[in-house]
Amino acid sequence: MNRVIFKVLRPIRKYGLRTFSAATSDLLNASHNHSATTGILEKTNSTDNVPQYDVAIVGGGMVGVALACSLATMPLTKHLNVALIDSNPALMAGGSIKKEDPPDPRVSTVTPATISFFKGMGAWKYIQLHRHAFFDRMQVWDYTGLGYTRYSAGDVDKEVLGCVVENKVLHRALLSCMEESNMQKTIYPARLSALDLSFSLKSDNVSSQPHANVAKLNLSNGDILYAKLVVGSDGSKSHVRELAGIKTTGWKYPQNAIICTVEHAVENRCAWQRFLRSGPIALLPIGDNFSNIVWTMDPKQAAECRSMDEADFLKAVNEALDYGHGPHPQSETKGGGGLFSWLKLDTTPSANEPFEVPPRITKLASERMVFPLSLMHANSYVSKRVALIGDAAHTVHPLAGQGVNMGFGDASSLSRVISEGVAVGSDIGEISLLRRYESERKAANIAMMAVLDGFQKAYSVDFGPLNVLRAAAFHGANYISPLKKNIISYASGEQGIPLFS
C-alpha cells in the first residue's frame, strides 16, 4: 500500500502523534534498552502535536529522492518516518513521461556504480521504460590535432562505460520507486524558512525519560515539524547549509555551459569530447538518434550561441566537433604506440582504433540553456543533526559529467551510515555517527574535484610546450594499458582515488 501523504493543508489533530515510526521504535527498543539514546519518544507535551520524523530531507531533486528511495529499501531503515520538503510541483504532480515528449536538454551521464545503486533500490526498471542510451566507447581529443584517446568498455572487460539519461527520466524513476515503497513518508510542498538544531522535546514521563534533542523546522507554509536528522539536498545555494552555519570554499570559472539536445541521421553509441581553446564540447548519446550537447565557453560566446538562429548554431556545433578550430589528429598505424612505441607496450584493444569524426548534427531538438560554472566545496558535510549531500556539499565542472554521480554516491553512503546507526541503537542525528559519512565521501569527492579542476586549468591555456605535454598525456592514456584501465575504473565509480588504489 502506498503510504505517501501529500500535505497541502495543515490538519487539526485531535490526538497525539506517536513520534517517529512505531516500527523503528520497536526495532530499536529491542536492540537498545534506553529509548532516550535513540531519541524515539512516545509522547510530547507540545500543545500543537507537531509531527515528528526520523529524517527530514530538504530538497526533492534527484539526489534527495534517491536518498529517500535508498532508505526505503534497506532492511533496517525502511521503517523510518521520512519527510520530504520541496516546493517543486513535480513532486506532487505524479503522472508519466510520454514517448512523444521532446527530449529534456538536461541530462546526466550515470556511471556503472550509479547504475548498480539504482538497480539495488529497484529504480532502474523505471528508467528502462523510457529513452536512455548506453555507450560503450569514448573518444577524447583537442584542437591542436596532436593526439587523441579512445576508450572502450572492452578495455576493462565490461559491456558499457555508462548510460546517458534525461534528468526528467531519472527523477520520475526515483519518484516511482519512492511511491512504490511502504516507507512512511510525507511530502511538504513548501520551503524551509528556519531551522533550530538544538530544540529540546520534553517527555510527559520525565522520571523515565530525559529531554530529547531534535531539529525544529519551520516551513514557508506555516508548518512546523521535528526531525532527528535534517538532510540538505537543496542545491548549490543550500538554505540548510546556510542555516547550519557551514562555510564553503570555491571559485567561479570564467565560463558558462550551453546545453541542448540535437538530432543526427545515424545512431550514436559513443561519447565524444573535444577540448577547444574556449573550453570542452561534449556530444553524448541519449537514444532515438538524439544526442546532448554540453559546450563550455566564455559567457559572451555563450550568450551569442544561445541567440543564434538554428542554422548558424548547428554550423558552429559541427565545426566545433569536426575540422573547425584545428585539424584532426592523425590515426596511428596498428600497434604504433605513438610517442610510447619504444616501450613495446601491451596495449588495450581501443588503442588500435582509428580516430573517428562524430556524427553530423542535423537538427536542434530542444531549447538552449546556459549555466554559469563554478567549483564549490562545503568545509564540513555534517554538523549535529545535519548532513549535506549532492550540490549542497559540492559543485564541479561538468567536463566529465561526474557531478550527479558524486551526489548519488553521497546518498548511498549516508543511507548506509544511517542503517548502521539504527542497527546499534544510535541517535541518527549525532555528530559522531555522521562523521563516518563525511570521512568516506569527503576524500572521494575532493579527489574527483581535484582531477576535474586540473583538467579545466590544463586546457585553459594555449601555449606551445603545454600543448606538447597534453599530447603526450593523450598518447599515454591511449597506449599505456594499466593507466587506461585505471582511468576507466575511476571514471566508472569503481575506484576511489585515481592512480593510487
| 3-state secondary structure labels for all residues of 337-401 | CHHHHHHCCCCCHHHHCCCCCCCCEEEECCCCEEEEEEEEEECCCEECCEEECHHHCEECCHHHC
SS3 content of the chain, % helix, strand, coil (to 5): 35, 25, 40
The single-letter code of the amino acid at 405 is N
Secondary structure (H, E, C), 116-138: HHHHHHCCHHHHCCCCEEEECEE
**What is the reported pLDDT for 342?**
44
Amino acid 101: pLDDT: 83
Judging by DSSP bridges, how do beta strands 248-264 and 290-297 pair with one another?
antiparallel
Reported pTM: 0.85
Instruction: Give which of 390, 372, 371, 368 is closest to 381, Cα–Cα.
Output: 390
Mean pLDDT by 10 residues, the chain (501 residues): 42 34 39 33 49 96 97 95 92 76 91 95 95 93 86 89 94 93 92 93 46 88 96 97 96 93 93 90 93 95 96 96 85 52 60 88 96 95 97 88 91 98 95 97 90 73 62 68 76 58 36
What is the per-residue pLDDT across 229-243, written as a single tens digit (0 to 9) for each? 999 999 999 999 999
Domains and their CATH numbers in the chain: 4-98+172-249+374-445 (3.50.50.60), 107-171+253-371+459-491 (3.30.9.10)
pLDDT at 345: 55
Q: Which three cell numbers stand for residue 355?
A: 580516430
DSSP secondary structure letter of residue 105: S
> Is residue 187 exposed (0-12), middle (13-18) or buried (19+ Cβ within 10 Å)?
buried
pLDDT for residue 465: 66
Is residue 218 classed exposed, middle or buried when 0-12, 13-18 and 19+ CB atoms within 10 A define those classes? middle
Q: What is the pLDDT of residue 462?
A: 59
The 3-state DSSP class for residue 442 equals helix
In three-state secondary structure terms, 36 is: helix
**Of 96, 85, 64, 83, the residue nearest 4 (C-alpha):** 83
Looking at the DSSP assignment, which residues form a beta bridge with residue 4?
185
Give the pairing of strands 280-287 and 270-275: antiparallel
Predicted local confidence at residue 474, as pLDDT: 65
What's the confidence (pLDDT) of residue 91? 83
Report which of 303, 299, 258 is spatially closest to residue 281, judged by C-alpha positions: 258
Per residue in 124-154, pLDDT tens? 999 999 999 999 999 999 888 888 889 999 8
pLDDT score, position 346:
61
**End-to-end distance of the chain based on CA atoms, in angstroms?**
45
What confidence score (pLDDT) does residue 30 get?
Answer: 37
